[in-house]
Amino acid sequence: MLSNNSSGNGKFDLTEKTAIVTGGAGILGRYFCEGLASSGANVAVVDIDKGLAVDAASKIDVNSPGAVVGIECDVSSKDSVDLMLKNVIEAFGKIDILVNNAACKPADLERFFAPFEDYSLDTWREVMSVNLDGMFLVAQAVGKAMKENDMPGSIIQTASVYALLGPDKRIYEGSKYQGIKINSPAVYAVSKAGVIGLTKYLATYWAENGIRVNALVPGGVESGQNERFKRQYSARVPMGRMAMAEEMVGAVIYLASDSSSYMTGQSIVVDGGLAAW
């Protein structure tokens, strides 16, 4: 049965819902937080950097109909995830929506963008500890809380178009990110493919509990790449450009709301048509 908000524009209304967004102060996360809050939800902006989380929350709170708080969490640590969950429940009493979004780039970008043949196992494990282990730990904790409270919920997990496609190496010729020569590392593609696998598993596992689990699959988002990369990437996209971060928000609101009440185990690809070619 649909909720009372299931007719007309009310299907997108998130009033009285509580949402957690991990990586909430990041490139996509802050837009997800703003979008959820503007749709009426109470939002926990969760980030490994407490200062950034609190600052992002304070900026959103000014114009938000719901309450917004910033909470520190290292998603690769079970103890930190458990404490984050406790803090969110103390603040809002329940959890209805999880945007499982946190991801990792090591501080040493040259290690992250190293050739596959020379890739460090330590770097591989560092990225996986957040991109995949963190997804598991947060989904496990939040899904358990939703199940124990006997409440329907929506979990949205951020993957990537590179979970579906191999990278076109030609895009990366002469390309840089924050001045560093870049590529698309295997660890990123593998971790994001794992997100889709986890999404499908949890969708079937928790379906009987009314917990829906879907994946958001973004294409390339402008975030500090050089102009050459932007041109070369855009030439591979039917719409002829990279995405802006805010263009991912509509899909998140849809998946969080009653508008997607019969959708679970799916991947929504927002890539300007890249995967269609």
Choose, from 192, 233, 257, 260, the residue flagged as catalytic. 192
Q: Which amino acid is residue 51, in one-letter code? A: G
Which is catalytic among the residues 31, 162, 172, 188?
188
Pairing of strands 97-100, 153-158: parallel
Q: Tell me if residue 50 is catalytic.
A: no
* Strands (E) located in the chain: 18-22, 42-47, 68-72, 97-100, 153-158, 176-177, 180-181, 211-218, 267-270
Place of tokens 């269609």: 276
Catalytic residue chosen out of the listed positions 154, 160, 184, 191: 160
99/6 Cα distance (integer angstroms): 21
HSE-CB for 40 with a 13 A CA cutoff: 13
> What is 153-208 written as a DSSP string?
EEEEEE--GGGTS---GGGGTT-EETTEE----HHHHHHHHHHHHHHHHHHHHSGG
Catalytic residues, which ones? 160, 188, 192
